[in-house]
Amino acid sequence: MEKALKTRMVFAGHPYTREPTSCVLGEKRIPRETAAVASLRRFVHDIAADWKAAEDIPETAALLVSELATNALTHGSSDAPTTSTIHVTVTRERSTLRVAVHDSSTAIPRIRRLNYLAQSGRGLTIVQTLADNWGWTFTPSGKTVWFTLLAWTLKDKCISRSTADSLTVRLLGETGSTEVDNSGRSQIDRSD
């Protein structure tokens, strides 16, 4: 069993494991239809903008997720049921925005040799050029192709909603009044 796991990790090429400090910022499923990719671009753009990512990150993330989703539609399983979806997860890990595109295909993503006259085939080249990192791994239901972008400074903090709620309850129980702003930083007034 251990040998099989090692073989799978080597075969996966660019494995990625989510860090325990990551925050899921959003998830979306789209049908396997080309027209649905536009809503995915807006979704990822809006999440990056809402979380105040660096200036050009929302546009870059929208472009890259569009490329990965289009690849999933174009090169994904032709025998996939029409009811199958493409699932996108947007997470934040410290200063990094991570976007993962999950589909039911087990086809390995490959960067094509650039043909300047071709009208397609540049998607992964664009991802490789603009992303800070990218890769793929098999999942029990297909594969995940992901990219990361440096989106925030290291001083910015990410706390999950449950942590923020817990922090608010704990701080409100202390003497004095407490406010927790949108960034999760608390400001305690201990005056009597």
Q: Where are the domains of the chain?
A: 2-150, 159-192
pLDDT at position 105: 86
Question: What pLDDT is stored for residue 52 in this prediction?
Answer: 94
Contact predicate 96/153, CB 8 Å? no
Q: Which of 88, 110, 86 is nearest to 99 (CA)?
A: 88
- Residue 23: CB atoms within 10 A of its CB come to 16
Is the domain covering 2-150 a CATH 3.30.565.10 domain? yes
82 class by beta-carbon count within 10 Å (0-12 exposed, 13-18 middle, 19+ buried)? exposed
**Per-residue tokens: 11:** 């075969």
Buried b (16+ CB within 10 A) or exposed e, 55-70: eebbebbbebbbbbbb
The predicted-structure confidence for 95-130, as pLDDT tens digits, reads as follows 999 999 999 888 888 776 766 665 655 789 899 999
List b or e across 101-114, with b for residues whose CB sees 16 or more CB atoms inside 10 angstroms.
Answer: bbbbbeeebeeeee
How far apart CA 104 and CA 22 sit, in angstroms, is 24
Q: Is 26 helix (H, G, I), strand (E, B) or coil?
A: strand
**How many CB atoms sit inside 10 A of residue 20's CB?**
6
User: Does an H or E element contain 178, and which?
Assistant: strand 177-180
Span 14-60, pLDDT tens digits:
444 555 567 999 999 999 888 999 999 999 999 999 999 999 999 99
Most confident segment among 45-54, 76-85, 154-163, 166-175: 45-54
* Per-residue pLDDT, 17: 53
